[in-house]
Chain A
Amino acid sequence: MKKEYICIACPVGCHLVLEEKSKDDIKVTGNRCSRGESYAREEYSEPKRTVTATCSADNGRIPVKTNRPILKEHIDSLLKEIYSINIDTLVERGDVIIKNYADTGVDVVATGSSAGKIKS
């Protein structure tokens, strides 16, 4: 099993090749430093992303994000859930909108406050 990645841990963007001969024999080549190796291993075994989106709210939209990266396989269903919510109370930046999504330990939190405004 061979997979190719571009390392994003720094701007050099090394082209990495990950080769799995067996479960305990995984080799990464093409990396100029050790960060590239761990990047490729993580992308191979459990790729994660931070998801950002907006929820509908009574007045305008509220931007939200996952409080940490979530496994890629959950992203589509998570987005569906986020889009199905309508927030009808006032929220503040940092409020939890979805707690422990699908038992992943990941929360969805508001990144802006209601009506997107902090008025003086």
Chain B
Amino acid sequence: MKEYFFDCAVIGGGAAGMAAALEVEKSGFRAVIVERENTLGGILLQCIHNGFGLHEFKEELSGPEYAGNFSEMIYASGVKVFLESTVMEIGEAQGKIHELYCYSAVYGVFTVKAKSVILAMGCRERNRGNIGIPGTRPAGIMTAGLAQRLVNIDGYIPGKEIVIVGSGDIGLIMARRMTWSGCKVHAVIEIQPYPSGITRNIVQCLEDFSIPLYLSHIVSSINGKDRIESVDVTPLRDGIADEEKTFRIGCDTLLLSVGLVPENELSRKAGIRLNPQGSGPFVDSYLMTSRDGIFACGNVLHVHDLVDFVTKESRTAGANAVKYLKSALSARQYKVVSGSNVRYVVPQKFNFEDVSQFYLRSMIVKNDAQIEVKINNHLIKSVKQNHVQPSEMISVSLKKEELAKVTSVNDPELEISII
């Protein structure tokens, strides 16, 4: 079996993997990207709509353009790329060396050995099984992301009469895409009392086409024998299905946009500790997982809504992998916890020696909110946020001086809350 040796091996060549690999290479270490598909770019390639890169490139790009900018940088750098190659398993470390077992239709079976590893495998979509809609099991039901791939990459339209479950951004974007492709989108059904996608998408993907959005409604049944023919939709009143008010919408296709979950399979098999709050691996202030020398960034760590944040986080992961290679990751780690109204905070550890960057998600929808950072009940930072909602990730950074206010406490624990 062929073996390749690198300083750092990056699993996945999406926005996260490319930014991380460039950062490692820039510092003079040898990096490799192993990517399953035949092109670098990941999910960006199917997101042909506009809205990427306002922070990173100061202009609004489509997904393929954002990906193209980065893959050009990769090919101009010394980063080695294996396309059409899947990492099947992360083996046990041999001393300080990690082993990735890879399979490729092009290169056959090979092993990548590396002193450090960066996980950048992205996320996957929840499907019908995860949300349990009752009814028959006909054809014509798929995730919105799969439909996006079929339409935008393969040029194949999966149906004509569409209903979408879930008002996440992918579902909204697909409502517009299907309409622009000559299909009729009859409705978007959302169980929550508020939409889970951003306002811009509600306006430009639904209202522009007068597509009805049913908030606090569920799909109570899927009907049809071979192909889906209709769905039954039931309103919720105080969280309980008001069955008498059930109505039926005819359709030949049902798209599910009911959330994304980090791609945890490889990490789990590798014995990497996962965050119980349902996101990706548990990481310390260096974005290092529970396995020494293995880092994580991008959607595999937690689901991002802006690719610019993915890029930023992944550069940090790359830079930390470099420090690790130079044996310069030494700061003591302390605990980070989610306070009131916060679903999760990444990373789950902090230190007193570096700038700390936290990403968190709100559990509530609120205008004029306040983000509070406390260490053992001492308030060290408070930031005003015009608006918070679960679908918009919040970023908070802390300077060393801000942290220094409380270095003397015993057993420091940092808590971030939204009030």
- Chain A residues near B (Cβ < 8 Å): 5-8, 10-13, 49-54, 56, 60-61, 63, 65, 72, 75, 79, 93, 111-113, 116-118, 120
| CB atoms of B62 and A52 under 8 A apart | yes
CA distance A10 to B204 in the complex (A): 14
* B127 lies within 8 A of chain A by Cβ: no
- Smallest CB–CB gap between B175 and chain A, Å? 14
| CB atoms of B68 and A11 under 8 A apart | no
Q: Of A12, A60, A79, which is within 8 A of B153 by CB?
A: A60
Which residues of chain A come closer than 8 Å to B202, judged between CB atoms?
A: 6
Which residues of chain A come closer than 8 Å to B61, judged between CB atoms?
A: 111
| CB atoms of B392 and A11 under 8 A apart | yes
* B208 lies within 8 A of chain A by Cβ: yes
- Smallest CB–CB gap between B307 and chain A, Å? 15
Q: Please provide the chain B residues from 177 to 211 with a CB less than 8 Å away from any CB of chain A in the complex.
A: 180, 198-200, 202-204, 207-208
CA distance A13 to B389 in the complex (A): 11
Q: Spot the interface stretch: B42-50, B330-338, B345-353.
A: B42-50
| CB atoms of A65 and B62 under 8 A apart | yes
Instruction: Give the size of the chain B interface in residues (CB under 8 angstroms).
Output: 36
CA distance A81 to B204 in the complex (A): 21
Query: CB-CB contacts of B264-297 with A at 8 A, as 1s and 0s?
Result: 0000000000000000000000000000000000
- Smallest CB–CB gap between B76 and chain A, Å? 10
CA distance A72 to B207 in the complex (A): 13
Residue of B nearest to A53 (CB): B180
Q: Of A13, A49, A79, A93, which is within 8 A of B199 by CB?
A: A13
30 contacts between A and B (CB under 8 A): A5-B203, A11-B199, A11-B386, A11-B389, A11-B392, A12-B386, A52-B48, A52-B49, A52-B50, A53-B48, A54-B152, A61-B152, A61-B154, A63-B62, A65-B48, A65-B50, A72-B208, A93-B64, A111-B48, A111-B61, A111-B64, A111-B65, A111-B68, A112-B45, A112-B48, A112-B64, A116-B64, A116-B153, A118-B71, A118-B75
CA distance A5 to B386 in the complex (A): 19
Number of A-B contacts (CB under 8 A): 84
Which residues of chain B come closer than 8 Å to A54, judged between CB atoms?
A: 48, 151-152, 155
CA distance A1 to B151 in the complex (A): 40
| CB atoms of A56 and B155 under 8 A apart | yes
Other contacts beyond A51-B180, A63-B48, A120-B75: 18, CB < 8 A: A11-B387, A12-B387, A13-B199, A13-B387, A49-B204, A53-B180, A54-B48, A60-B153, A60-B155, A61-B153, A61-B154, A63-B62, A93-B68, A112-B45, A112-B48, A113-B68, A116-B153, A118-B75
| CB atoms of A63 and B64 under 8 A apart | yes
- Smallest CB–CB gap between A88 and chain B, Å? 15
Which residues of chain A come closer than 8 Å to B152, judged between CB atoms?
A: 54, 61, 63
| CB atoms of B389 and A50 under 8 A apart | no
| CB atoms of A50 and B60 under 8 A apart | yes
CA distance A53 to B89 in the complex (A): 37
Residue of B nearest to A65 (CB): B62
* B81 lies within 8 A of chain A by Cβ: yes
Which residues of chain B come closer than 8 Å to A72, judged between CB atoms?
A: 208
Query: Which of B75, B154, B155 has the most C-beta atoms of chain A within 10 angstroms of its own C-beta?
Result: B155
Which residues of chain A come closer than 8 Å to B62, judged between CB atoms?
A: 52, 63, 65, 111
* B367 lies within 8 A of chain A by Cβ: yes
Which residues of chain B come closer than 8 Å to A49, judged between CB atoms?
A: 204, 208
- Smallest CB–CB gap between B125 and chain A, Å? 21
CA distance A75 to B39 in the complex (A): 31
CA distance A7 to B200 in the complex (A): 8
- Smallest CB–CB gap between B168 and chain A, Å? 16
- Smallest CB–CB gap between B364 and chain A, Å? 14
Sorted nearest first, the 5 A-B pairs with minimum C-beta distance are: A112-B64, A13-B199, A63-B48, A8-B200, A111-B62
